[in-house]
Structure 1
């Protein structure tokens, strides 16, 4: 992927996709240290456990990334889009969920890396029963990032009641905090220049 900055809005969405993958990686590495009992334990949140919340985030990613990829490739919308929710919790263990989340996060980075500002108002169709949902690429991507942030915050809060301390999830964007994410960027194969371009 080029290190030069693309169009401003497309570049922002790409940086959000990288942030999304980084935050998921940092959060899931913390969750992977939980015992299975703690991972499944009933807690006070929108979904009743860390396991349920992380599985929900993954299923929603599958749902929206599929729709975005199909539109990008000129394919018709998924005929049975709710098949991504056929199983509420497709993964029992955090390590398996972590691998699946990483794969869809990379798909989202690739999708955002292919965007240009003049394409972002193209319409994505989701064949919901009764009435199709029609959204611009910009709105659908913004919704997907907000959804992830919303539920990651819930997992972060639930971790505070476990044996594993919740990790910082806000050390991605500021240039002055590059050292705080350097080890993870190296493990993920990223550099500051890859995401932000030349200073």
Structure 2
């Protein structure tokens, strides 16, 4: 049965997100602890701080998506996701937590079809309730992740660990370049593209 094109694209974006996080965090895991926490130029002051921010925001939005899917009200206290600025003090902790939230985002996207994308997700903000369609909020989440991963990628340039290639996901010709990552993640090309 053919898949709905937009919802399938959003699912591939969730897979791309998980793959890019896997590849970036594998590079960061090779840093010595001092490099992981060293002050760097970026929106957040270190690789650790930036990765923790990506994780916290992902948890925040995935919670909102899951609540909407279950027809539950929005989270009553969003500050809980940000009360501890850097909950993971090492890269291995970030890797485990990010892998878990990435799996939840993929699972959520796999439930979507194009007819359901106009459903509204509500988030309670300090200024009031925010109402966004699934399509807009997912697009926002993916853009947020790409933005901050790019900052970590740039920060890695000034360390002993070279930044990994993160743009080899969508093209068929690049499949051999991601084969090892997919094996480590337990994925296959067929999982994503068919």
Classify the TM-score, shorter chain: over 0.9
After superposition, residues 43-82 of structure 1 pair within 5 angstroms as: 43-82=40-79
Counterpart of 2:92? Answer: 95
Contact 1:121 1:138 in 2 (8 A): yes
Contact 1:63 1:82 in 2 (8 A): no
Q: State the SS of the aligned residue for 1:158.
A: helix
Counterpart of 1:117? Answer: 114
User: What is the root-mean-square deviation in Å for CA atoms of aligned residues?
Assistant: 0.8
User: Which runs of at least 4 in structure 1 moved beyond 4 Å after TM superposition?
Assistant: none
Counterpart of 1:40? Answer: 37
Match of 2:136 among 130, 139, 143: 139
Please state how far the C-alpha of 1:5 moved relative to its aligned partner.
5.0
Please state how far the C-alpha of 1:167 moved relative to its aligned partner.
0.3
Counterpart of 2:10? Answer: 13
Q: State the SS of the aligned residue for 2:187.
A: coil
Deviates more, 1:99-108 or 1:125-134: 125-134
Counterpart of 1:182? Answer: 179
Please state how far the C-alpha of 1:130 moved relative to its aligned partner.
3.6
Residues of 1 paired with 2:120 and 2:150: CA distance?
29
Residues of 1 paired with 2:18 and 2:10: CA distance?
12
Q: State the SS of the aligned residue for 2:125.
A: coil
Contact 1:63 1:81 in 2 (8 A): yes
TM-score, length-scaled by structure 1: 0.96
TM-score, length-scaled by structure 2: 0.98
